[in-house]
Amino acid sequence: MAHQAKISVRNPMAVVIMVDQSGSMWETIAWRDGWKPKCIAVAEIINNLLEEFVARSRCESGYKHYYDIMVVGYSGAGVQSLLADSNSYFVSPEKLVGIVKETQNVQRQRLMPDGKVAVTNVLQRVWVEATAHGRTPMRAAFSRVYGEIKDWCGEHYDSFPPLIINISDGEATDSTERELVEVVAQIKTLQTSDGEPILMNIHLSGSSESSIIFPENESELPEDKYAHLLYSISSKMPDCFAREIAIHFDHPIVGEYRGMAFNASMSDLVKFINIGSTTVYKL
């Protein structure tokens, strides 16, 4: 059965985060009892996630190489790594600690056992800065990811397959729908001995349509061309993920979910990413 390999120093896991940094990401969205530009809120979430990967890898002697992490931004400036001073797209947790851009005080919310929300101020390391301009070259970003993952899978054949999380608030401006589907199909031809990569797509929008998170069937989606495109290119979630989805989204039984979120809010984004990043950690 696929998608069961354990993460270890010998067989690390590849995590790829793709971030839309087009001009529309300056539009505001509800975030932590207020409103913030999408690009700022998304940067905060990604930095927190990177901090989690560092914490999970920490040991007495330093950091264990459990993850190869890649963060790619795509915008009017093209496709580029968002991890400063890295010579390659993939970065280990130990390398990540050495390329922090700055630190800043941020508020962290935690849900307490009694149901109350506790707010604390913490010092957050910053790897990804908020920026947004130009168009949305999503196809070019997927093409770059394909090249990097192809090499990675060849070198880590016994590892858990790469996890790819794409965060965007719009459609690709550098391709037709067919061209986007084709480049994603290329990514899905890649494999480790434990299966093919898992692609999760997150659409952030200000539309009036209801949020659709981890749909089980295409019929759940609105009459929206982009929603159906996302559904078609997103991965079917493996059993280990499906169990976590059922628990966290209050489904009475475990279903067959697609790794997509349409018209997602910032709180949806946090829950969605947590499913992807913490489930494999528990294997």
- Return the CATH number of 13-281, one of 3.40.50.300, 3.40.47.10, 3.40.50.410, 3.40.50.620: 3.40.50.410
pLDDT at position 283 over 60: no
Better-scored residue on pLDDT, 105 or 10: 10
**Which tens digit of pLDDT belongs to each residue from 91-119?**
999 999 999 888 887 766 555 556 565 66
Better-scored residue on pLDDT, 270 or 24: 24
Q: What pLDDT shows up at residue 85?
A: 62
Q: What pLDDT shows up at residue 236?
A: 95
Residue that has been written with the tokens 């400036």 in this structure? 77
**Which tens digit of pLDDT belongs to each residue from 190-229?**
999 999 999 999 999 767 778 899 999 999 999 889 999 9
pLDDT at position 241 over 60: yes
Query: pLDDT-based confidence at 246, cuts 50/70/90?
Result: confident
**Which tens digit of pLDDT belongs to each residue from 131-172?**
999 999 999 999 999 999 999 999 999 999 999 999 999 899
Q: Is residue 181 a contact partner of residue 146, using CB atoms and an 8 Å limit? A: no
Tokens of 27: 């539009």
Q: What pLDDT shows up at residue 97?
A: 92
Q: Considering only 72-76, 84-88, 156-160, which range has the smallest mean pLDDT?
A: 84-88
Average pLDDT taken over every residue of the chain = 89
Model pTM score: 0.91
Contacts of 223 (CB under 8 A, 6+ apart): none
- Residue range 34-46: average pLDDT? 91
Q: Is residue 159 a contact partner of residue 12, using CB atoms and an 8 Å limit? A: yes
Type of residue at 175: S
Residue 218, SS3?
A: helix
Query: pLDDT-based confidence at 86, cuts 50/70/90?
Result: low
Q: What is the CA radius of gyration of the chain?
A: 18
- Residue range 223-236: average pLDDT? 94
Query: pLDDT-based confidence at 279, cuts 50/70/90?
Result: low
Better-scored residue on pLDDT, 243 or 142: 142
Instruction: Give me the numbers of helices (H) and strands (E) for the chain, helices first please.
Output: 7, 13
Q: What pLDDT shows up at residue 217?
A: 93
- Give the start-to-end residue ranges of the domains of the chain: 13-281
pLDDT at position 33 over 80: no
Residue 215, SS3?
A: coil
pLDDT at position 263 over 60: yes
Name which of 255, 207, 258, 214 is nearest 232 in CA terms. Answer: 258
Better-scored residue on pLDDT, 221 or 268: 221
Better-scored residue on pLDDT, 85 or 138: 138
Q: What pLDDT shows up at residue 270?
A: 85
Q: What pLDDT shows up at residue 140?
A: 97
Rounded to 10°, the helix 38-57/266-281 angle is: 20
